[in-house]
Amino acid sequence: MWWWMLGLLACVLLLAVVIFFLTAGRRYKVFSEKSLRPPAPLVTDSRQRDDRLKRGFREDRVPPALDAVVIGSGVGGLTAAALLSKAGKRVVVLEQHDQAGGCTHTFQNKGFEFDVGIHYLGQLHEGSMLRVALDQITEGQLQFTRLEQHFDTLILGQEYHIHAGKTEMADSLKKQFPGEEEAIDEFMRLMKLASRRTPLIATLKIIPYWLASFLVRSGLLDRISSVFRLAATNHSEMMSRLTKNKDLKALSAYLFYGVPPKDSSFLINALLLHHYKRGAYYPRGGASEFAFHIIPVIQRAGGAVLVRAPVHRILLNQQGKASGVTVLKGQEEFEIHAPVVISNAGIFNTFQKFLPQPVQDKPEIQSLLGLVRHGMGSFLVFVGLDGTKEELGIVSTNFWMYKDNDLDTLMERYSSLSREQVLGNIPMMFITFPSAKDPTSNVRHPGNWGFLFAICYTNVFVFPGQIENMLLYVWNKIMSYTLTQMFSYTRTSACVL
């Protein structure tokens, strides 16, 4: 009997969703092929770029009659603002830093340009959803270069190469792990399933909360699709069911984002690797091209993106609804009003800093915050090398290096170390050469090649007096081991910035 009721309920919900999207489509013409233009030439003039990316906050620059305020100009905030702008809304994006873009911003020092947080993206092949979405919010101006098929190298003592390609990824892994063909096939199957069924997880956010809660608590969710089980199973446990090979287990979670495999969902790690299966791409002109091409879409609808605009508080009206924000400039606090406030500044900033104490203290907010915790951070070192790509022999492949193939124990041991012990015990490094990926690099910065490496660290790492030692240690490590392994190092003139 209850199967009938559930089926009926599902049909009603489906109908409601279809009607909603059909009528919304008529109300807002957000996406259109007409908004695409042929890509314009790359803008290299720093004045022109700064006018757009570094427009400072002034009260008279805040557009009147705003429809929404967005806190933070990361790609998330800019995307939300651009979509609203395409629907005809007037939006202001407020950014605390001195340039827009968040993790996609780049900076220059001593003639070198450095990326901060975009080193490769996947799923950008023609017709992919991400490609269509990026085209829409940049009017087709953001261009990408496809990287080599061998896009990542993983060093676990032994070296492994990760290849992109519908069949090539699995084929190359099978060659590198003889005897593990079955485990690799099953891993690939689960990766595909994860990718195809993940939208079902989003439907949990669309349906009413009580229904989502009922489906979770009753265990019905697992019967609807196995993707929910993949999401709820930790990576280490799932991989233990597939193989005993420790290197293969480590490889399946090598795209490290600060959470050890035993504490991360299998679904997320599978999706991450799947993301690059059809190829890895790099933004032509560098990562700052994201913000550079999204901002005009916001401006065209009467909106603005203003930097040096640290949001201090979210304002609430008498009904307790968000009604604007305040921006702190020196001792002065400016009020900006809008009926919608979108915070892209992170859950902890939003709930623990921007909202008033009585709201923070609400049990539902506390229980929400109790579900999340800060991940591990990274310590980034930016290095400029004086030489051409050919002289230095640098490549577009990224390098992931781990001290051990047991990532769980490695991270657990590392986070329990004392301040004094951490210096000689760095568990992993990520090394990448953005300039080797971008064909416009040698036009924009001839002869200067920047690279970045990131080292996993915990809070104990950053303390005064030790930074120089840390840099020295890392630098020595690179000179003595990494570079010689990765490329034929021919010039010694380099600077650590």
Ligand X SMILES: Cc1cc2nc3c(=O)[nH]c(=O)nc-3n(C[C@H](O)[C@H](O)[C@H](O)COP(=O)(O)OP(=O)(O)OC[C@H]3O[C@@H](n4cnc5c(N)ncnc54)[C@H](O)[C@@H]3O)c2cc1C
CA distance 150 to 397: 7
Give the interface size with ligand X as a residue count (CB under 6 A).
Answer: 27
C-beta of 304 vs 454, nearer to ligand X: 454
Closest CA to 305 of 118, 71, 133: 71
> Per-residue x/- marks for ligand X, 451-490, CB under 6 A?
---x------------------------------------
Helix axis angle for 75-86 and 289-300, nearest 10°, is 30
Please identify, using beta-carbon distances, which residue of 77 and 260 lies nearer to ligand X: 77
| CA atoms of 469 and 489, how far apart (whole Å) | 23
Q: Please pick, from the candidates 85, 104, 172, 243, the single residue that binds ligand X as defined by CB under 6 A.
A: 104
CA distances from 47 to 51, 54, 266, 417 (A): 6, 10, 46, 47
Q: Is 443 exposed, middle or buried (0-12, 13-18, 19+ CB in 10 A)?
A: exposed
What phi and psi, each to the nearest 5 degrees, are found at residue 150? Answer: -85, 90
- CB nearer ligand X, residue 117 or residue 296: 117
How long is the chain?
497
Stretch that binds ligand X, among 113-121, 152-160, 177-185, 234-242 (CB under 6 A): 113-121
CB of 91 to ligand X, least distance (A): 14
Nearer to ligand X, 204 or 380 (CB): 380
Select from 8-16, 18-26, 100-108, 138-146 the region that touches ligand X (CB under 6 A): 100-108
Should residue 119 be labelled a site residue for ligand X when binding is judged by CB under 6 A? yes
417-422 LR contacts (CB < 8 Å, sep 24+): 417/460, 418/460, 419/460, 419/463, 419/466, 422/457, 422/458, 422/460, 422/461
- Pick the stretch among 32-40, 96-104, 296-304, 313-321 that binds ligand X (CB under 6 A): 96-104
- Given a contact cutoff of 8 angstroms between Cβ atoms, the answer to whether 90 and 302 are in contact is yes
Rounded to the nearest angstrom, the gap between the alpha carbon of residue 239 and the centroid of all alpha carbons in its chain is 24
Closest approach, Cβ 102 to ligand X, in A, equals: 2
Dihedral class, residue 296 (left if φ above 0, else alpha if ψ from -120 to 50, else beta)? alpha
Count Cα atoms within 13 angstroms, Cβ side, for 291. 30
Q: State the nearest-atom distance from the C-beta of 122 to ligand X, in Å.
A: 8
Q: Which is nearer to ligand X, 70 or 407 (CB)?
A: 70
* C-alpha separations of 224 from 17, 221, 238, 258, 457 in Å: 18, 5, 20, 31, 39
Q: State the nearest-atom distance from the C-beta of 355 to ligand X, in Å.
A: 12
Tell me how far, at minimum, the Cβ of 463 lies from ligand X, in Å: 21
Q: Which is nearer to ligand X, 228 or 414 (CB)?
A: 414
State which residue, 130 or 207, has the beta carbon closest to ligand X.
130
Q: Which of residues 287-346 bind ligand X (CB under 6 A)?
A: 310-311, 344-345
When asked if residue 106 is in the footprint of ligand X (CB under 6 A), the reply is no
- To the nearest 5 percent, what fractions of the chain are helix, strand and coil? 45, 20, 35
- Of residues 349, 360, 415, 466, which one binds ligand X by CB under 6 A? 349
- What's the token pair of residue 111? 């003639």
Dist. CA 479–CA 474, nearest whole Å: 9
Q: Which is nearer to ligand X, 95 or 139 (CB)?
A: 95
Query: Please, which residue, 228 or 256, has the CB nearer to ligand X?
Result: 256
**Least distance from ligand X to the Cβ atom of residue 70, Å:** 9
Are 194 and 268 in contact, with CB atoms under 8 Å apart? no
Q: At closest approach, how far in Å is the CB of 67 from ligand X?
A: 19
- Smallest distance from ligand X to CB 308, Å: 9
Nearest approach, Cβ of residue 310 and ligand X (Å): 5
Q: How far is the CB of 119 from ligand X (least distance, A)?
A: 3
Encode burial over 82-97: b for 16+ CB neighbours within 10 A, e otherwise: bbbbbbebbbbbbbbb
For residues 54 and 119, which CB has a smaller minimum distance to ligand X in the complex? 119
**326 close to 311: Cβ distance less than 8 angstroms:** yes
What is the DSSP secondary-structure string of 92-137?
EEE-SSSSSBGGG-EEEETTEEEESS-S-EE--STT-HHHHHHHHH
Residues 46-85 within binding reach of ligand X (CB under 6 A)? 71-77
Residue range at the interface with ligand X (CB under 6 A); choices 102-110, 200-208, 470-478, 485-493: 102-110
- Residue placing its CB nearer to ligand X in the complex, 345 or 486: 345
Q: Is 379 in the site for ligand X (CB under 6 A)?
A: no
Considering the complex, state which of residue 228 and residue 430 has its C-beta at the smaller distance from ligand X: 430
Please tell me whether residue 120 binds ligand X under the rule CB under 6 A.
Answer: yes
**461: number of CA atoms within 13 Å, CB side?**
21
Q: Where along the sequence are the contacts to ligand X (CB under 6 A)?
A: 71-77, 94-97, 102-104, 117-121, 310-311, 344-345, 349, 378, 380, 454
